């Protein structure tokens, strides 16, 4: 039987933590794990796919959560067995950059601007007689 989410089969980091008592059930990712994964403090932070359970026992709960500026995530309300101050085991499976899928994509350059750019890059044309001697250039006569 396969997993519901194939990403759960891979663990990129595992750690033990204590749920914050005063911060709405936040779990902080340890600094070493942040460094190892290249997580920095950022305003619109990433999403994480993770598994969590009470320390050492019970079934794993799998969730997606946004990271806070300080790389913490909140345990969802449907996980009622884990309370503030409880030690937990955490496995991070995936870090997903946050981006707006509905934001307009950058428009490709217009054909006219592409031609103008190519003309600028081509430089000067050494022919000065225009197309008057075109046949001579295309069909040189052999002596």
Q: Locate tokens 């000065």: which residue?
A: 128
Contact between 50 and 96 (Cβ < 8 Å): no
118 domain-assigned:
no
pLDDT, position 65 = 93
pLDDT, position 126 = 65
Domain of residue 89, residue span: 6-96
140 domain-assigned:
no
124 domain-assigned:
no
pTM: 0.66
DSSP class of residue 30 equals: P
Domains: count for the chain: 1
pLDDT, position 22 = 84
CA distance 91 to 97: 18
102 domain-assigned:
no
pLDDT profile of the chain (143 residues), mean per 10? 69 95 91 93 90 92 93 91 94 88 72 78 68 74 62
134 domain-assigned:
no
Domain containing 86 — which CATH number? 2.40.30
pLDDT, position 1 = 43
Q: Where are the beta strands (DSSP E) in the chain?
A: 13-18, 26-28, 47-54, 61-66, 72-74, 87-96
**Minimal CA–CA distance to 48: which of 57, 56, 33?**
33
pLDDT, position 127 = 63
61 domain-assigned:
yes
Residues 6+ apart with CB under 8 A from 51: 8, 60, 61, 62, 63, 90, 91, 93
84 domain-assigned:
yes
């Amino acid at each position: 039987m396969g997993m519901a989410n194939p990403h759960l089969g891979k663990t990129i980091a595992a750690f033990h933590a204590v749920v914050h008592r005063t911060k709405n059930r936040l779990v902080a990712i340890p600094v070493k794990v942040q460094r190892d994964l290249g997580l920095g403090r950022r305003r619109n932070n990433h999403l994480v796919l993770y598994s969590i359970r009470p320390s050492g026992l019970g079934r794993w709960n799998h969730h997606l959560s946004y990271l806070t500026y300080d790389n913490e995530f909140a345990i969802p309300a449907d996980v009622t067995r884990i309370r503030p101050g409880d030690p937990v085991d955490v496995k991070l499976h995936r870090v997903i950059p946050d981006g707006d899928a509905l934001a307009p994509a950058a428009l490709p350059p217009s054909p006219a601007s592409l031609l103008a750019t190519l003309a600028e890059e081509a430089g000067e044309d050494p022919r000065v007689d225009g197309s008057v001697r075109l046949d001579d250039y295309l069909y040189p006569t052999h002596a």
